[in-house]
């Protein structure tokens, strides 16, 4: 008999196929509850993964991290088998987190959980994360983010006056008066981070000074190393463990859920 686990005590998947099978089985069980056309109320599926670093590669392969849309297609086939009538615009969001949301349904045997989003529910989850400065010189080397913080602005200098005359406070500030060439390429209104309660994640948005033809906001995904350039202030990037963000011409920050002994 095939053994799903390398070590039952540690509860780790033996291989990619076993992890994928466990996840798809859980999806099938949850979607089956909406059998008979009730799937039209489903807005999307959130898959949360909280694997240790030593197992991350297993999960990345299990969810086809390098093949965009493939896992969603497999889930769509399951939905079609049960005549769920999913809406055409349903979404699949995969997040690598430090811990699994309490509202989500644990996937048996693996470090993953599911949440089925409908028109009537959202995933309300609190979280703590950290921004660490890799290059450039900010007021602090590490910033603590809480899901209750609201909008956290990033830019050059602490308090700046915008074009409409109002003042903006940058909670993550790179002083412009110091002798650091990298800081000079960061806009006063460069970007901001805010919590999205529906997806249970932190989102990064470029602001007016961080989109073309101004300065840049680029993200290299921590899980896949895929590069994403933010070119609109309306479309954000869902931050995940290990994502590196380039601001301007060389300022770099990293997003993480791991505290590593740093304080706010």
Give me the CATH number covering residue 204. Answer: 2.60.200.20
Is the distance from CB of 160 to CB of 188 less than 8 angstroms? yes
- For 170-187, how does the pLDDT look when each residue is reduced to its tens digit (9 = 90+)? 999 999 998 899 999 999
DSSP string of 165-186, one letter each residue: S-EEE-SEEE-SSSS-GGGGGS
* Average pLDDT value over all residues in the chain: 85
- For 60-97, how does the pLDDT look when each residue is reduced to its tens digit (9 = 90+)? 999 999 898 999 999 999 988 888 888 888 999 888 88
Domain count, the chain: 2
Whether 59 and 139 share a structural domain: no
Taking alpha carbons only, the member of 216, 18, 242 closest to residue 132 is 242
Q: What is the pLDDT of residue 85?
A: 83
How far apart (Å, rounded) are the C-alpha atoms in residues 130 and 57? 23
Segments in the chain forming alpha helices (H):
16-32, 56-62, 70-81
Whether 136 and 242 share a structural domain: yes
Residue numbers of the domain that contains 27: 5-118
261 in a structural domain? no
169 in a structural domain? yes
Spatial neighbors of 159 by CB under 8 A, at least 6 apart, are 167, 168, 169, 170
Instruction: Categorize the per-residue pLDDT at 263 as very low, low, confident or very high, splitting at 50, 70 and 90.
Output: very low
Taking 80 as the threshold, does the pLDDT of residue 142 lie above it?
Answer: yes
How far apart (Å, rounded) are the C-alpha atoms in residues 15 and 58? 7
Q: How distant is the alpha carbon of residue 181 from its chain centre?
A: 30
Bridging pattern class, strands 42-49 and 91-96: parallel
Q: What is the pLDDT of residue 3?
A: 37
Q: What is the CA radius of gyration of the chain?
A: 20
Instruction: Categorize the per-residue pLDDT at 120 as very low, low, confident or very high, splitting at 50, 70 and 90.
Output: low
pTM flag (> 0.85): no
Whether 144 and 80 share a structural domain: no
Whether 146 and 251 share a structural domain: yes
Whether 108 and 184 share a structural domain: no
42 in a structural domain? yes
- For 15-45, how does the pLDDT look when each residue is reduced to its tens digit (9 = 90+)? 899 999 999 999 998 888 765 556 778 888 9
262 in a structural domain? no
123 in a structural domain? no
Q: What is the pLDDT of residue 8?
A: 41
Is the distance from CB of 211 to CB of 230 less than 8 angstroms? yes
In the chain, % of residues over pLDDT 90 = 50
Taking 70 as the threshold, does the pLDDT of residue 262 lie above it?
Answer: no
Last residue of a domain, one of 118, 136, 151: 118
Neighbour count for residue 85 (Cβ, 10 Å): 15
Express the helix, strand and coil content of the chain in percent, nearest 5 each: 20, 35, 50
Whether 103 and 156 share a structural domain: no
264 in a structural domain? no
């Amino acid at each position: 008999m095939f053994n799903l686990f390398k070590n039952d005590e540690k509860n780790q998947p033996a291989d990619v196929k076993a992890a994928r099978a466990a996840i798809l089985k859980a999806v099938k069980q949850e979607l089956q509850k909406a059998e008979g056309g009730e799937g039209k109320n489903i807005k999307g599926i959130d898959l949360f993964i909280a694997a240790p670093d030593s197992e991350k590669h297993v999960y990345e392969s299990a969810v086809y991290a390098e093949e965009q849309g493939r896992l969603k297609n497999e889930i769509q086939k399951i939905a079609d088998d049960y005549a769920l009538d999913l809406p055409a615009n349903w979404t699949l969001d995969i997040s690598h987190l430090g811990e699994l949301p309490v509202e989500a349904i644990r996937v048996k045997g693996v470090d993953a959980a599911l949440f089925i989003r409908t028109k009537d529910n959202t995933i309300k989850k609190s979280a703590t994360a950290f921004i660490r400065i890799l290059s450039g010189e900010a007021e602090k080397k590490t910033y603590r983010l809480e899901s209750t913080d609201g909008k956290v602005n990033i830019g050059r200098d602490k308090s700046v006056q915008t074009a409409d005359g109002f003042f903006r406070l940058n909670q993550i500030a790179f002083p412009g008066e110091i002798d650091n060439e990298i800081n000079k390429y960061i806009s006063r209104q460069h970007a901001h981070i805010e919590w999205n309660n529906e997806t249970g994640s932190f989102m990064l948005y470029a602001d007016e000074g961080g989109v073309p033809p101004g300065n840049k906001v680029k993200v290299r995904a921590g899980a896949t190393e895929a590069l994403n350039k933010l070119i609109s202030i309306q479309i954000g990037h869902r931050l995940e463990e290990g994502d590196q963000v380039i601001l301007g011409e060389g300022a770099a920050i990293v997003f993480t859920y791991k505290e590593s002994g740093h304080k706010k």
